[in-house]
Amino acid sequence: MLKRQMLAIQDIYVPVKRRQTLDPKKVEALAESMLAQGQEAPVLVRPDGKRFVLVEGLHRLEACKALGETTVSAYLVQARQH
Protein backbone atom coordinates (compact mmCIF):
# COMPACT_ATOMS: atom_id res chain seq x y z
CA MET A 1 0.00 0.00 0.00
CA LEU A 2 1.22 3.47 -0.84
CA LYS A 3 2.03 5.84 2.00
CA ARG A 4 0.75 9.41 1.70
CA GLN A 5 3.40 12.06 2.43
CA MET A 6 3.53 15.83 2.48
CA LEU A 7 6.29 17.13 0.17
CA ALA A 8 7.58 20.64 -0.46
CA ILE A 9 6.29 21.83 -3.83
CA GLN A 10 9.71 23.35 -4.57
CA ASP A 11 11.26 19.85 -4.38
CA ILE A 12 9.06 18.51 -7.20
CA TYR A 13 10.40 18.72 -10.74
CA VAL A 14 7.90 18.76 -13.60
CA PRO A 15 9.29 17.37 -16.88
CA VAL A 16 8.96 19.71 -19.88
CA LYS A 17 6.82 17.18 -21.80
CA ARG A 18 4.34 17.04 -18.94
CA ARG A 19 4.21 20.84 -18.61
CA GLN A 20 3.00 21.12 -22.21
CA THR A 21 -0.30 19.41 -21.27
CA LEU A 22 -1.27 22.09 -18.73
CA ASP A 23 -4.83 23.43 -19.05
CA PRO A 24 -5.27 26.67 -17.04
CA LYS A 25 -9.07 26.26 -16.88
CA LYS A 26 -8.68 22.83 -15.30
CA VAL A 27 -6.20 24.24 -12.76
CA GLU A 28 -8.66 27.01 -11.83
CA ALA A 29 -11.53 24.53 -11.37
CA LEU A 30 -9.36 22.25 -9.23
CA ALA A 31 -8.17 25.17 -7.09
CA GLU A 32 -11.80 26.13 -6.38
CA SER A 33 -12.59 22.52 -5.47
CA MET A 34 -9.54 22.36 -3.18
CA LEU A 35 -10.65 25.51 -1.37
CA ALA A 36 -13.97 23.87 -0.58
CA GLN A 37 -12.89 20.27 0.06
CA GLY A 38 -9.10 20.16 0.33
CA GLN A 39 -6.78 18.05 -1.80
CA GLU A 40 -8.59 14.73 -2.21
CA ALA A 41 -6.16 12.85 -4.48
CA PRO A 42 -2.40 12.96 -3.88
CA VAL A 43 -0.02 13.55 -6.78
CA LEU A 44 2.33 10.72 -7.78
CA VAL A 45 6.08 11.33 -7.72
CA ARG A 46 9.20 9.22 -8.04
CA PRO A 47 12.42 9.89 -6.14
CA ASP A 48 15.33 11.31 -8.17
CA GLY A 49 18.31 12.08 -5.97
CA LYS A 50 17.40 14.96 -3.65
CA ARG A 51 14.26 15.90 -5.58
CA PHE A 52 11.11 14.21 -6.80
CA VAL A 53 9.86 13.96 -10.39
CA LEU A 54 6.15 14.35 -11.04
CA VAL A 55 4.63 11.20 -12.53
CA GLU A 56 0.93 12.11 -12.33
CA GLY A 57 -1.04 15.09 -11.01
CA LEU A 58 0.19 18.19 -12.86
CA HIS A 59 -3.11 20.04 -12.53
CA ARG A 60 -3.39 19.24 -8.80
CA LEU A 61 0.17 20.44 -8.26
CA GLU A 62 -0.46 23.67 -10.16
CA ALA A 63 -3.74 24.23 -8.29
CA CYS A 64 -1.86 23.96 -4.98
CA LYS A 65 0.69 26.50 -6.26
CA ALA A 66 -2.13 28.84 -7.33
CA LEU A 67 -3.59 28.66 -3.82
CA GLY A 68 -0.21 29.64 -2.34
CA GLU A 69 0.45 26.24 -0.77
CA THR A 70 4.07 25.29 -0.04
CA THR A 71 3.42 21.56 0.39
CA VAL A 72 1.41 18.96 -1.50
CA SER A 73 0.08 15.54 -0.57
CA ALA A 74 1.91 12.89 -2.61
CA TYR A 75 2.51 9.18 -3.02
CA LEU A 76 6.03 7.95 -3.77
CA VAL A 77 5.97 5.43 -6.61
CA GLN A 78 8.51 3.40 -8.51
CA ALA A 79 8.16 4.51 -12.14
CA ARG A 80 10.51 4.14 -15.04
CA GLN A 81 12.08 7.24 -16.54
CA HIS A 82 10.64 8.42 -19.84
| HEC secondary structure over 10-66 | HHEECCHHHHCCCCHHHHHHHHHHHHHHCCCCCEEEEEECCEEEEEECHHHHHHHHH
| Mean pLDDT of all residues in 10-17 | 92
Entry pTM: 0.89
pLDDT score for 78: 83
Q: Is the pLDDT of residue 79 over 80?
A: no
Q: Which domains does the chain have, with CATH numbers?
A: 4-76 (3.90.1530.10)
pLDDT band at 8 (very low <50, low <70, confident <90, very high): very high
